[in-house]
Chains A and B, each alone.
Chain A
């Protein structure tokens, strides 16, 4: 098990390093000249352009640029913004000349928003999705199962900007139960934080949940048909033990991987939800950075997204191996 963990983690580190290199090369190959973008068009003299190129480090060969980037990641680096020098502390993901802020700081401001969104929603969709899926499997062929199936199909078919806007219209406009949600940081006022997030949580959970209902229902049915469940029954285990211990474990362990990927994905790119509910999260920021060709931010975000996905995946693999001892053997 420990050997397996070491292998998985070192694999994850290798993936991140390779990814950072690839992103950096892509960044370099882009047709847009970042110095030109910072310099603008009207007031840009060749001297000024060269100065900006130098301060961005663009006059160096590619491998040196990447090296500085790596050093910055682990030791921090300095950027000169014309007159003054800005220190970007480790781990330095780069410096945005458009925001005039280190990339990490920009991301750091948005991360809590996306994090709050995804954690609350995940708790909802996991508990509801699995609960409904399992119940529906145990009542297979009865009316509850059919109703659940219909709802799941509906949930899969309707995109989040429809459900989200409808929820806003019903709750905030017609019923006027609450004002339109805005972002309130947790450390400012936890109650307001939660109040403002309830609607996004529910909407996001509802659109993510159907897959979980489906998978836990199918997993449960499959596991219930397995021989070892028959063994458990044949030895007189109480039915709640057969279901609760033996069937659930087999049925739900495949959901670990799915949940990890969904959480990573929603954390970094739930741009639709964020836009509908006016939440200044990472998804919105990504769209803006791409639109403004703010390359340091884009590179930083891509790295962060990769990091989150790799970390979530590694956690999922380790969890899965802890749940199912056969995994670390294979």
Chain B
């Protein structure tokens, strides 16, 4: 065992908010040896991010109390002076953050930000620093780095911004890289690229890695050891293959069991019904910009598909593929620019026909936080659509709906902020099924939730589906989740459906190259298989 570069003992982090103290980390200890990779996994609120930030002393000046001991490369982070910590940051232990869209200063050029960080630790002139910036941007795969060094962050895509941040770290050649959910905000193919990049850089430079993630599969393919956190404590710590392959702690077992499996076939219902929804050559064109400077964005370009009565149709695609736009057109929240959508034989472009079937088309939205009015009780929010449609909107009815989605009916007069993310999504579902719709369109209903909560919501949707004979459209970016839910799957890319087929057939034998690349990018739980996949990806994209 080589010497440790990071050594944490009895770490306790308390956050003080008005008159209230929350213990985020509760007696955590671990070591990281030089050149090794440690995955810290856990659900939201487990204290994994707070731990990551404490390694760089980033709680200084905030409202957190940090006790215990943190030793990073011989520096006692908790006792060191501000200047000592400053010299450590970036230079010897660097950090990559979750949201690449906000991690860079929008007012400054990407290259200048790298130059600034580089010069904070190296006595060099601007020109030398700029040369270094171009060099590292080129290394992390920014095309035409010599020119893009002068780009502003908003001119970069999310993946490129994450690369730029990695470049900032790389420029300083730190011994330890702390990556806090580095790919959570990214598409699955981009996620694979970023993780592969970090992997390659580690092989080149020998830097150690602490990878904080909620996604066990992401950890599986990228770390040597895994530390599982729950409520601020380590519940299991060991080699990745052991912890993920044969978990000993109950919590880890539950967590591993909840992870949706891409390779797991599901018992698809045999669907041979007639079409309930017929989408016929539908287009959606958005016009953006001011009246002097208009550009047209083709969000959906000529989609034709049928949704069969009683089936669950999955729609997968990366951001910008048009999947949400298509979903919104099907429930007629958006009027198609051209093309026709018929629901049960009625043309939705006809307002009278729409009024008749409106109640039968309901939608569950992605963000359970912002899709509920914070100033209305959940009972009111659920009753609103019932009242509008002249249905029974009594408290008794709302209580029934709450019970149906697994919530305590006595909480009818509470406000949304008093509920967790998963509970809020249940409220959204209660609101949607109150009108007994025949078609329920769910737009990324579980992407904001932890895996264990995801599994609960998916089970709830499945039981509601059989109970009410619902037809389901399930829009998501997560291919494994879609496989669990859907009978048939449509793969969307750049506004078009590139492949549509029965779920198992499509997952096991994809025909379209885009579907193949998507499936190859999905992280898997088995470290050995992950290694193999990485090699295959390397061959796909030289």
Contact = CB atoms under 8 A, between A and B. Distances in A.
Given A234-B56, A235-B120, A228 B89 contact: no
B106 A235 contact: no
A235 B293 contact: no
A325 B152 contact: yes
Contacts, number: 84
Which of A236, A246, A329 has the most CB atoms of chain B within a 10 A radius of its CB? A236
* A contacts with B: majority SS: helix
B107 A249 contact: yes
A237 B94 CA distance: 12
B103 A235 contact: no
B91 interface: yes
Nearest to B102: A227
Nearest to B178: A234
Interface string B95-111: 10101001111111000
Contacts of B88: 236
B86 A236 contact: yes
A73 to B, nearest CB: 26
Contact of B104 (A3, A231, A245): A231
A43 to B, nearest CB: 56
B43 to A, nearest CB: 22
Pairs of residues from A and B, 3 with the lowest C-beta to C-beta distance, nearest first: A235-B90, A236-B89, A235-B117
A324 B116 CA distance: 19
Nearest to B85: A236
15 contacts: A7-B290, A228-B102, A228-B106, A230-B103, A231-B97, A233-B89, A234-B56, A236-B121, A237-B86, A238-B86, A239-B86, A246-B108, A250-B107, A323-B107, A325-B107
B165 A231 contact: yes
Contacts of B94: 234-235
A138 B117 CA distance: 23
B106 A7 contact: no
B152 A235 contact: no
B292 A7 contact: yes
Contacts of B292: 7
Contacts of B105: 228, 231-232, 246, 249-250
A258 B120 CA distance: 34
Contacts of A80: none
B58 A238 contact: no
Q: For chain A, which range describes its interface: under 10, 10 to 19, 20 to 34, or 35 or more residues?
A: 20 to 34
B168 interface: yes
A241 interface: yes
Contacts of A246: 105, 107-108
A228 B103 contact: yes
Interface in A292-330: 323-326, 329
B107 A324 contact: yes
Nearest to B87: A236
Contacts of B364: none
A98 B422 CA distance: 75
Interface in A52-76: none
Contacts of A326: 106, 152, 154
Contacts of A245: 108, 116
B82 A226 contact: no
Given A226-B102, A234-B58, A329 B116 contact: no
Given A246-B105, A323-B107, A233 B293 contact: no
Contacts of B152: 325-326
Interface in B227-257: none
Interface string A206-232: 000000000000000000001110111
Nearest to B121: A236
Contact of A234 (B87, B95, B108): B95
Contacts of A232: 105, 116-117
Contacts of A230: 58, 97, 103
B160 interface: no
A81 B361 CA distance: 76
Interface string B115-129: 011001100000000
